[in-house]
Amino acid sequence: MHRGNRYGRSEDARRAVLEAADDLVAERGFAGVTVEGIAARAGVAKQTIYRWWPSKVDVLLEAFGDDLAQHLTPPDLGDLGDELREHLHRLAEFLTRSDPGAVYRALVGQAQHDPDLAARLRTGHLARQRERDRLPLLRAVERGDLPPDLDTDLAVDQLVGPVHHRVLVTGEPVPRAFTDELVRRFLAQW
Amino acid sequence: MHRGNRYGRSEDARRAVLEAADDLVAERGFAGVTVEGIAARAGVAKQTIYRWWPSKVDVLLEAFGDDLAQHLTPPDLGDLGDELREHLHRLAEFLTRSDPGAVYRALVGQAQHDPDLAARLRTGHLARQRERDRLPLLRAVERGDLPPDLDTDLAVDQLVGPVHHRVLVTGEPVPRAFTDELVRRFLAQW
Amino acid sequence: MHRGNRYGRSEDARRAVLEAADDLVAERGFAGVTVEGIAARAGVAKQTIYRWWPSKVDVLLEAFGDDLAQHLTPPDLGDLGDELREHLHRLAEFLTRSDPGAVYRALVGQAQHDPDLAARLRTGHLARQRERDRLPLLRAVERGDLPPDLDTDLAVDQLVGPVHHRVLVTGEPVPRAFTDELVRRFLAQW
Amino acid sequence: MHRGNRYGRSEDARRAVLEAADDLVAERGFAGVTVEGIAARAGVAKQTIYRWWPSKVDVLLEAFGDDLAQHLTPPDLGDLGDELREHLHRLAEFLTRSDPGAVYRALVGQAQHDPDLAARLRTGHLARQRERDRLPLLRAVERGDLPPDLDTDLAVDQLVGPVHHRVLVTGEPVPRAFTDELVRRFLAQW
DNA sequence: ATATAATCGAGACGGTACGTCGGGTCTTCCT
DNA sequence: AGGAAGACCCGACGTACCGTCTCGATTATAT
């Protein structure tokens, strides 16, 4: 078994750490995740974690991985309304029901009092997600279904903002009725 | 200085604790606030804090006080557009520039991995704020400027959601141009 | 149970720590004594140890206590030869067979690469022991059995030095024949 | 530089390790010597140390080398008193002032809580030194200056014991007056 | 001259213990 | 009765070394 040497780290250790971190967030929540706990569950030395990750949020950030891309790439259905309804519904489900959604909320929460994490989260995962969120709008513009001078930044905030607000701030449920009506109103602007 | 007596708690101690907590959030951020630190700065025994507040977030919650009501009560100007523009602008300023806004963000952040705090925050400050957010819309319905069957819950989310999203998630600035255009689009739905 | 407060430390904790330290030296030797181990066995928090003792050798130093005085006070028998023979035999037994003797050897060993410990050991236990070692000689001088200008410092080294040398350096056994002959030769000087 | 080959170890590496170890004892004391530190200073891999020495004390033991024979071979002067006076004085100087003397004290100290080291130290360096210590006495017996049935073991302990005691236990200085008087008393036994 | 294999540097790995920080509970004395 | 002070047990922090391991490079013979 590969156990690490000067020409490369142990892939086994890396995977074990990320899985342990993921499990612990799901089981005990963000506060229940400790470097000590990750190390114990992963069967790994603490030093191995500190060698590769500056802090536990970095572990979670990496464990989070491509979950956003996997869950939140909007479908290409040929109709703006259909695409937005589906995308917002998936977003709501992701945020409120999935394990990676819980990790995402934990990270965004932590980012409120950790500027460093905030910066990395935003230039990384969030920036890429924003580009994905933009896709249905860009396609609609190309088809001529939306005005060519559309402010896509604002439009994206109009769509995903209310969903995030419900989840992160008010904690209310986000049923399909909510996201569908949100899209209907959005399209009523033109 | 008052050092305890048999007929009730010390108002001095209470105020010292809340002020120390507020100062510490401003100076060192949420993570820099510890019960030990509050006690030291307030010149108060740890036990006195634990006697009256279950945890440090409760101290912050009380220190937060009526700041929301003071900063975020929408003005009554007779015109829906004017009121919404002003209200959203004040919200953006509050969230991004003020000290209590920083505390607010810290509390919302902590609430992501602290269900207990989340519940108290929502049934308290947030529920009252939501009622305030609703006022311009209700007045507009009364005036006949908006349809009487308006879903005010959704409408409020449409307005404050994008602003919160920018502040809490993407971290982008929220200039007046953004909030003004948001209101213009909102009103364009009808 | 008293558990410590601002007006005094916990006597229970103190005793538990000292006993645990003593047991551990006896069971596992000096290298087997760790602050963590003492804390675990004593049922005490590590911090409580660090609060009152700068290091583990300080714990052992205090645990060592009055063992020297108890074991190595020379008897008053009225005859110099009898007293020295008995005293040296007891010294040999103490050093080679007793638990506190093992602690003593460990402390002297550690003192070889710990100047701070060396200083405290010498101004404390060792200085007092040297005074006890001198007693039989002083009594003999008073009785006129030894010259009044006797250099007691040198005489003490002549007597206990060879025994220590055997125990600490060569590790050879120190039977009664050895100590008895040592005394015979010592007395033959005059 | 030599970097390993199939037929035998690197003499460069060996010397670098021993020198680094010696330097570190002198600079930082026994506790400051770590395998990691030796490797770093010697520009050698840790594994290279572990391949050839079981532990750091073995490195020191080898680094110690023939220092005892070099410093502590008693001179052959034809007169017992002269030889003993000189030998004990050199012993005192070696123990209290020289670098190898410091290593010697560190090793004897460590041997108090390391039975393995103790055994190797005693069957090696110490046994050979004891034979050297015996030489002046054996010569004197041959010359008829000492009785033929002399217990040389005891006699050696009588001579070097007090010096070791001062150095290792009480830490007092060992001036020439002390060693000279010690020899005078020793000779007064017959 | 080339192929081979012990040794070398480097350093990642699983561990143990370190000494520190803060948490939340307690006891005591003073007001 | 309430408050200041602070000792207590506890859990986690991030660091230092331990001793083991694997890797690719080096190099003196034995073919």
Distance CA A121, CA A19 (A): 20
pLDDT, one tens digit per residue, over C47-68 is 999 999 999 999 999 999 899 9
Rg (C-alpha) for chain B, rounded Å, is 20
CB contact under 8 A, D169 and C165: no
CB A18 within 8 Å of CB A59: yes
CA nearest B162 in A: which residue? A161
Contacts of B160 in chain A (CB under 8 A): 165
CB B49 within 8 Å of CB B39: yes
Instruction: Record the tokens describing residue A167, joined without a space.
Output: 């989840």
A108 CB-side CA count, 13 A:
25
Distance CA C49, CA C37 (A): 11
CATH number for C56-188 (one of 1.10.357.10, 3.40.50.620, 3.40.50.1010, 2.60.260.40): it is 1.10.357.10
pLDDT, one tens digit per residue, over B30-85 is 888 999 999 999 999 999 999 999 989 899 999 998 999 999 999 999 999 999 99
Q: How far is B168 from chain A (nearest CA, A)?
A: 7
Q: Report if CB D5 to strand F is under 7 Å.
A: yes
D147-152 own/partner pairs: CB under 8 Å, 24+ apart: D147/D190, D151/C181
CA nearest C118 in D: which residue? D171
Between D157 and C117, residue with greater pLDDT: D157
Q: Report if CB B8 to strand F is under 7 Å.
A: yes
Distance CA C64, CA C125 (A): 9
* Nearest residue by alpha-carbon distance to C1' of E14: A45
Residue A16 has a CB neighbour count (10 Å cut-off) of: 18
Q: How far is B138 from chain A (nearest CA, A)?
A: 18
Q: What is the pLDDT of residue A5?
A: 61
Q: Distance between terminal CA atoms of chain B?
A: 62
Q: How far is C76 from chain D (nearest CA, A)?
A: 24
B117 confidence band (pLDDT: 50, 70, 90): confident
The answer for A79, left when phi > 0, alpha when psi is -120 to 50, beta otherwise, is: beta
CB contact under 8 A, C113 and D106: yes
Q: What is the pLDDT of residue B101?
A: 93
Q: What is the pLDDT of residue B29?
A: 84
Q: What is the pLDDT of residue D31?
A: 86
A3 confidence band (pLDDT: 50, 70, 90): low
At residue B119's C-alpha, the angle toward residues B115 and B123, to 5°, is 170
Contact status of C106 with chain D (Cβ, < 8 Å): yes
* Nearest residue by alpha-carbon distance to C1' of F25: D3
Q: Which string of DSSP letters, residue by residue, matches D85-99? A: HHHHHHHHHHHHH-H
Q: Report if CB A36 to strand F is under 7 Å.
A: yes
Backbone angles phi, psi at A8, to 5 degrees: 150, 150
pLDDT, one tens digit per residue, over B126-148 is 999 999 999 999 999 999 999 99
Contact status of C152 with chain D (Cβ, < 8 Å): no
Distance CA B110, CA A113 (A): 9
Among A106-115, C118-127, D179-188, top mean pLDDT goes to: D179-188
pLDDT, one tens digit per residue, over C86-119 is 999 999 999 999 989 989 999 999 899 888 889 9
Span CA (D52) to C1' (E3), Å: 28
Mean pLDDT of chain A: 94
Q: Which pTM value belongs to this model?
A: 0.87
Length of chain A: 190
CB contact under 8 A, D158 and C158: yes
pLDDT at A78 over 60: yes
Is B in contact with D (3 or more beta carbon pairs below 8 Å)?
no
Q: What is the pLDDT of residue C7?
A: 67
Distance CA B133, CA B152 (A): 9
Burial class of C118 by CB neighbour count within 10 A (0 to 12, 13 to 18, 19+): buried
Spatial CA neighbour of D114 closest among D55, D160, D178: D55
Nucleic strand F contacts from chain C, 37-96, CB < 7 Å: 43-48, 51-52
Give residue for tokens 């991985």. Answer: A65
Q: How much of chain A, in percent, has pLDDT values that exceed 90?
A: 84
Contact status of A171 with chain B (Cβ, < 8 Å): yes
CA nearest C169 in D: which residue? D108
Distance CA D174, CA D187 (A): 19
At residue B39's C-alpha, the angle toward residues B38 and B43, to 5°, is 115
CB contact under 8 A, A169 and B168: yes
CA nearest A123 in B: which residue? B170
CA of A13: nucleotide with nearest C1': E13
pLDDT at C2 over 80: no
Burial class of C63 by CB neighbour count within 10 A (0 to 12, 13 to 18, 19+): buried
Distance CA D56, CA D44 (A): 14
Q: How far is D9 from chain C (nearest CA, A)?
A: 32
Nearest to A109 among B113, B130, B160 (CB): B113
Q: Which string of DSSP letters, residue by residue, matches B132-182? A: HHHHHHHHHHHHTSS-TT--HHHHHHHHHHHHHIIIIII-----HHHHHHH
Instruction: Record the tokens describing residue B100, joined without a space.
Output: 């209590």
- Which one of A24, A157, A183 makes the best mutation probe of the B interface by having the most chain B beta carbons within 10 Å? A157
pLDDT at C123 over 70: yes
D39 confidence band (pLDDT: 50, 70, 90): very high
Spatial CA neighbour of B48 closest among B2, B100, B115: B2
Spatial CA neighbour of D27 closest among D39, D38, D16: D38
For residue C8, list its beta bridge partners: C5
pLDDT at A155 over 50: yes
pLDDT, one tens digit per residue, over B84-114 is 999 999 999 999 999 899 899 999 998 998 8
Distance CA D67, CA D22 (A): 12
Mean pLDDT of chain B: 93
pLDDT, one tens digit per residue, over A7-44 is 678 999 999 999 999 999 988 988 899 999 999 999 99
Nearest to D171 among C122, C170, C189 (CB): C122
CB contact under 8 A, A158 and B163: no
The domains of chain C are located at: 56-188
- C113: three-class secondary structure by DSSP: coil
Subunits with 3+ Cβ pairs within 8 Å of B are A
Span CA (B86) to C1' (E23), Å: 44
Strand F bases near protein CB (under 7 Å) are 1-29
pLDDT at A93 over 50: yes
Q: Report if CB D2 to strand F is under 7 Å.
A: yes
Distance CA A106, CA A28 (A): 12
D1 confidence band (pLDDT: 50, 70, 90): very low
Q: Which string of DSSP letters, residue by residue, matches chain A? A: ----BTTB--HHHHHHHHHHHHHHHHHH-GGG--HHHHHHHHT--HHHHHHH-SSHHHHHHHHHTTHHHHH-PPP--S-HHHHHHHHHHHHHHHHHH-HHHHHHHHHHHHHTT-HHHHHHHIIIIIHHHHHHHHHHHHHHHHHTSS-TT--HHHHHHHHHHHHHIIIIII-----HHHHHHHHHHHHTT-
CA nearest A151 in B: which residue? B181
At residue C41's C-alpha, the angle toward residues C40 and C43, to 5°, is 65
Q: Which residues contact A73 (CB under 8 A, 6 or more apart)?
A: A132
Spatial CA neighbour of D28 closest among D67, D56, D58, D70: D56
pLDDT at C1 over 50: no
Q: What is the pLDDT of residue A115?
A: 85
D83 confidence band (pLDDT: 50, 70, 90): very high
Q: What is the pLDDT of residue C6?
A: 61
CB B35 within 8 Å of CB B49: yes
Contacts of A182 in chain B (CB under 8 A): 154, 157-158
C residues 37-96 closer than 8 Å to D (CB):
none
B1 confidence band (pLDDT: 50, 70, 90): very low
Distance CA D109, CA D128 (A): 19
Contacts of B158 in chain A (CB under 8 A): 158, 162, 182, 185
Nearest to B151 among A122, A165, A181 (CB): A181
